[in-house]
Chains A and B, each alone.
Chain A
Amino acid sequence: MKGAEFISHAQNTWCPGCGNFVIQHTIKDVLSGLGKLPEEVVIVSGIGCHAKIADYMQTNSFYAIHGRGIPVATGIHLGNPQLTVICSAGDGDAYAEGLDHLIFAAKRNVDITVIIHDNRVYGLTTGQYTPTSPPGFAGKSTPEGTHEDPINPPDLMLASGATFIARSYSRDKKGMAEVLKRAILHKGFSFVEVLQVCASFYDAHACYDEHVYTPEGHDPANRDSAERLIREWNYAGEGAIPLGVLYERDAPTFGERVLAGKEGEIDRTGIIERAIGKR
């Protein structure tokens, strides 16, 4: 199926220059390249600028509520593991409102791909700080600058047991395509943090252009060197920002473990008879 067929007729309202366009078109190209059909894919999203992708993609979609895309995606995966489930989340969405779910999806190794559209700001609510905004970020809710430091999400994911951790940049479509392809193909929980330029409220492209790089000869199976790369930049200072697949390992998935032995018909009368027989 051609990439263009993955785009719906919904009117697009992202700002010109928004990094979300690149994410959407990369997803479309990767799905097309992998030979997926729209009916085999579900895009799950929370609420935010990023989340509009649910409307904009001509695939199955569950446009959920702020912060809760990940548990919805987990349920869809358990309900039908044949579906390719991609969860688009914002940094406010996944790192503030629904952080618990992100950690648990990593801990459980749910076979879904979570793409964080990390613009380091609340876009849709017009510019408040998020958990990855730089120190002192002066947003509408913190006019004097924040009084807290950012978190390093890939580090958090490593600690939480994620089996696939990658970072991309919305001005590096080629690199993102490679990462997303591997993320979708990865068996287990894939975490893809995309540094997404928000043209209206936090345009950091000059900084990213200067600092991003793709490490050479990195072995994603090596946890120590993955950790070293992940900690090169802590979302606060200037630091070099490594892109690409930073960590990957193989492990049984939540679906495999939960659904083992669960196939077949349910003998409802039998279950009920056995239960009352014991009482």
Chain B
Amino acid sequence: MNDYSICIGGQAGEGINKAGLLIGRVLGLLGYHLYMYYDYPSLIRGGHNFAILRAAEDTIGAIQGKPEIVCALDQETVNRHGNGSLLIYDSDDCKGEGIGIPATTIIREEGGAPIARNTVLIGAFCRAAGIPPEILKEAIQKEFGGRADENQRLALRGYHAAEERMQIPIRTHDPLPMLAGNDAIALGLIRGGLDAYVSYPMTPSSSILHTMADLAQNTPVLVIHPENEIAVITMALGLSYAGKRVAVGTSGGGFCLMTEGVSLAGMAEQPVVIVMAMRPGPSTGMPTYSSQGDLGFVLHAGHGEFPRIVIAPGTTEEAYEWSARAVHLAWQFQVPVFVLSDKNLGEHPKSTSIDPAFAVPIASIRSPRGTYARYCNMPDGISFFYPPPLSGNVVKVNSYTHDDVGITTEDPDLAAASAVKQIRKGATIENEMAYYGCLRVDGREDAPVALICFGSTGEACREIGERLSLKVIRPIVLAPFPLAQFSDALAGVERMIVVEENATGQLDSLLRGYGIVSDRRIANVSGRPFFLDELELKVRGVMQ
């Protein structure tokens, strides 16, 4: 099995992300599946940034421990990552052992921009890895378009200054587009019928806003960036009331501000999709790193009791399909639907295969008779949903406990009826969700040991499950919890190891609430994803 990891590192502002994507282009053209981890501190200049690009023969969504090749734009990269790898470095800027390329001198001689040093090193990387220069040129053409010429020249200077040390073989496989989870979420929401996206910037959700704003240009899709997250959610509910299908995106503190609006959505039965991208907290935490520490918060956010759907995709493909479904589900059931993501899923590009015409169910249409009552009581708890204007009728929605037409009530019987309606609706959602595959099972079907995880840790667990012949069970829908599907998946499992990126075991607690008691727990609160080698050691450790 061919499996390669290449690290490129330097200071913030040196285009490390883009350099990683260019390496991805090269290896994609060689026919590999790719996944890129990008590590950057929360600052604009200086600091240490690095990307690790992994290329493999099958779909991947995690990184190994040690890269085979390291491209260093600064000494810190050499010191941190260079040891034991084939090192390609800018010999004008740092000292090391490997292939020194005078990248700064080359840039000066060619009159190139300083940021293009990484292109020179990538040229050298191609030579070192035995990659034909034609592939390098084609990758640059694709990545830089109109500015390709200059970059090709610089890359070829790097190419010719290096020497071949190994050969990454060419495979016959068409390159797949590299999408990060946030790209996939944006596209999925559009696929699902989204008309408007409202958001206030907050890492790691911001790139959904940026992507959406870019995609929306010259289309009828609305993208709005209001004054704060409280305005985001309430404006979204206004758009929803007026008949638009709308989503919001945020993270940590931004979602804290939204919670009163979430409760309003629950009481008013006003559909909305909420993308919540987790990062380590509490409070500002580590903005550019990842966490699964807000699962409990999202499951319970908002005061009072109302049904919700919480979906945690684990791959970019799932992010696309489930974001599309999220829009449908929110409008079908008139509830807040969460897409729970994190930095590791949202910001790390991966070779992704999606169907632009992916089919989403069509919401059932029911016609009201007589005078319209927004909250008319139906056996399944789901009322007719119409935006105003509705000829000869008024549409009244309300944050107070209300009667069937939407007028405030404090009558004990009507209050009970209003609560029962929510419970009934919750039960309907639970029944209907049984038609979806709400969890994913990987690894060895009849293994006695199962890794249990959710969201972005899924791909690392899957690979370790395959390596160690374990079963891997990953619920994608966390609320309503797919208990029947989960119980089926547990058949034959004798030991359960719950793997999650939080300290207190929030998935574990959720499972315990359903009587599913794990044997061991593996936690990670570093802000970094589980690296495969590290996770393997931890799993072996708890299996002793």
Residues of A within 8 A of B (CB): 8-10, 37-40, 42, 44, 47, 52, 54-55, 58-65, 68, 71-80, 82-83, 98, 100-101, 104, 258-259, 261-269, 271-273, 275-277, 279
Contacts and interface: CB of A to CB of B under 8 A. Distances in A.
B265 to A, nearest CB: 11
A63 B187 contact: no
Which of B221, B230, B260, B399 has the most A CB atoms < 10 Å from its CB?
B399
B399 A65 contact: yes
A63 B234 contact: no
Given A60-B388, A68-B234, A76-B238, A269 B356 contact: yes
Contacts, number: 183
B179 interface: yes
Interface centre among B177, B183, B387, B396 (most CB of A within 10 A): B396
B387 A273 contact: no
A264 B218 CA distance: 11
7 contacts: A73-B238, A75-B239, A83-B242, A100-B227, A262-B221, A265-B220, A268-B191
A275 B387 contact: no
A77 B235 CA distance: 10
Q: What does DSSP make chain B's interface, helix, strand, loop or mixed?
A: mixed
B191 A64 contact: no
B220 A40 contact: no
Contacts of B215: 271, 275
Interface string B515-531: 00000000000000000
Contacts of B196: 78-79
A60 B234 contact: no
A279 B393 contact: no
Interface residues of B, number: 61
Contacts of B221: 262, 266, 271
Given A61-B396, A83-B388, A279 B177 contact: yes
Contact of B177 (A42, A101, A276): A276
Most chain B CB within 10 A, of A64, A83, A100, A265, is at A64
Given A79-B244, A258-B222, A263-B220, 20 more contacts: A39-B393, A44-B238, A60-B389, A61-B396, A61-B406, A63-B406, A64-B234, A64-B237, A68-B230, A71-B230, A71-B231, A73-B238, A78-B239, A78-B242, A79-B241, A83-B388, A100-B227, A104-B227, A271-B190, A276-B187
A39 B243 CA distance: 14
B364 interface: no
Contacts of A76: 238-239, 241-242
Contacts of A268: 190-191, 193
B4 to A, nearest CB: 21
Given A75-B237, A271-B190, A54 B242 contact: no
A55 B177 contact: no
Contacts of B357: 269
Interface string B196-229: 1010000000000001000100111110101110
Contact of A54 (B190, B195, B227, B396): B396
Given A74-B235, A74-B238, A80 B387 contact: yes
Contacts of B398: 54-55, 61, 63
B476 to A, nearest CB: 21
B427 interface: no
A271 B391 CA distance: 34
Given A75-B239, A76-B242, A40 B222 contact: no
Contacts of A38: 394
Given A39-B393, A78-B224, A266-B220, A100 B187 contact: no
B417 interface: no
B190 A72 contact: no
Nearest to A46: B399
A71 B226 contact: yes
B310 interface: no
Contact of A47 (B222, B242, B399): B399
Interface in B222-279: 222, 224, 226-228, 230-231, 234-244, 246, 260-261, 264, 268
B238 A72 contact: yes
A101 B235 CA distance: 10
A261 B244 CA distance: 17
A24 B532 CA distance: 66
B394 A101 contact: no
Contacts of B399: 47, 63-65
